[in-house]
């Protein structure tokens, strides 16, 4: 990893065009077009059931899109499986924060780096993870199952980072966290984005106030459609108006 990250560029690292997804007869994503630029933090917000988790699963290869194009670093990734996506530079922290509870944090981090052959880089990044998330030191050599839910989330994120991704997908990471933990978590996400230049796509249920507080750009998903998008500052303002009763269509017209 370079010490001087590239700034946000206009070059998209991820581009989705008219993506459709369904479960059986039930269509869950309808013509979704979004992009994440290199070095950018993008947020996807929306009510529970809007399709955010399905969207991230469709990007990371856990599901294949039924229509539309998904392009990562200029390559079509439809149908590429999740482990290959990790090799290509896309890591996904799914909701539920799977870590190997019987393995130590050290071993979890090594597992996270399974695609890498640069041992010195891996050792340096393990040190970096303990600096970003000092609480993980408590389990450096003990089973990670001894960690409570929040540190387990941090370990899951650290493991995803150990793959040295160009894009990190974070599915509703603050769900279940206290406000203090959520704010601390988002501070750390920004620090990592700034220091490492890793683009991030973060989802959050509801008005997404935590994700929008750190994002450069955001999208609002409603029943599988993108109904609003804009810079995070613009979206925050529009959501504030919406909360005061302005209908979604009027909001869209004012963008
Ligand atoms: N495995 C599944 N099988 C059938 N329906 C699903 C499945 N997963 C999600 N859904 C449905 O798809 C819709 C979108 O769900 P999801 O992507 O989890 O939304 P969100 O993450 O925004 O809450 C919801 O109506 C949900 O009930
Ligand atoms: Mg979800």
Tens-digit pLDDT profile for residues 187-208: 999 999 999 999 999 999 998 8
Specify whether 61 is located in the same domain as 172: yes
Question: What is the whole-number distance in angstroms between the Cα of residue 152 and the centre of ligand 1?
Answer: 24
End position of a domain, from candidates 147, 164, 181: 164
pLDDT of residue 5: 55
pLDDT of residue 255: 46
CA 210 to chain centre: 13
Specify whether 79 is located in the same domain as 202: yes
pLDDT of residue 140: 86
Specify whether 138 is located in the same domain as 245: no
pLDDT of residue 253: 53
Residue 230: which region, alpha, beta or left (left: phi > 0; alpha: psi -120 to 50)?
Answer: left
pLDDT of residue 180: 95
Atom of ligand 1 minimally distant from the CA of 54: 17
Tell me the C-alpha to C-alpha distance, in Å, between residue 59 and each of 36, 77, 86: 12, 8, 12
Q: Is residue 1 in some structural domain?
A: no
Question: What is the whole-number distance in angstroms between the Cα of residue 40 and the centre of ligand 2?
Answer: 21
Ligand 1 pocket, CB under 6 A: 23, 28, 46, 48-54
Tell me the C-alpha to C-alpha distance, in Å, between residue 75 and each of 13, 16, 43, 126, 163: 10, 12, 22, 29, 19
End position of a domain, from candidates 146, 164, 182: 164
- Closest by CA to 103, choosing from 152, 160, 171, 169, is 152
Specify whether 194 is located in the same domain as 153: no
Question: What is the whole-number distance in angstroms between the Cα of residue 254 and the centre of ligand 1?
Answer: 30
Low-confidence residues in the chain, pLDDT < 70: 1-8, 97, 245-255
pLDDT of residue 2: 46
Q: Is residue 117 in some structural domain?
A: yes
Atom 16 of ligand 1 has which residue's CA nearest to it? 51
Number of domains comprising the chain: 2
pLDDT of residue 7: 62
Distance separating the N- and C-terminal Cα atoms of the chain: 38
pTM of the model: 0.92
Print the domain residue range for 157. Answer: 101-164
Q: Is residue 160 in some structural domain?
A: yes
């Amino acid at each position: 990893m370079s010490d001087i990250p590239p700034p946000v560029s206009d070059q998209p690292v991820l581009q989705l065009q008219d993506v459709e997804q369904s479960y059986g007869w039930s269509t869950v994503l309808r013509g979704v077009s979004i992009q994440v630029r290199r070095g950018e933090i993008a947020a996807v917000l929306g009510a529970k059931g809007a399709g955010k988790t399905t969207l991230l699963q469709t990007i990371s290869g856990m599901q294949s899109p039924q229509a539309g194009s998904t392009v990562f670093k200029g390559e079509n990734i439809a149908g590429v499986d999740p482990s290959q996506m990790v090799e290509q530079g896309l890591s996904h922290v799914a909701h539920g924060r799977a870590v190997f509870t019987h393995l130590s944090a050290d071993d979890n981090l090594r597992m996270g780096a399974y695609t890498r052959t640069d041992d010195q880089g891996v050792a340096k990044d393990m040190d970096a993870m303990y600096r970003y998330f000092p609480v993980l030191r408590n389990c450096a050599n003990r089973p990670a199952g001894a960690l409570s839910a929040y540190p387990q989330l941090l370990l899951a994120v650290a493991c995803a980072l150990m793959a040295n991704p160009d894009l990190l997908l974070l599915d509703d990471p603050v769900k279940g966290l206290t406000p203090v933990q959520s704010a601390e978590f988002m501070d750390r996400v920004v620090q990592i984005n700034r220091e490492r230049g890793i683009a991030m796509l973060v989802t959050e249920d509801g008005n997404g106030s935590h994700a929008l507080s750190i994002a450069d750009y955001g999208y609002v998903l409603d029943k599988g459609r993108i109904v609003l998008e804009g810079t995070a500052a613009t979206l925050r303002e529009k959501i504030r108006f919406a909360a005061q009763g302005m209908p979604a269509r009027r909001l869209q017209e004012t963008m």
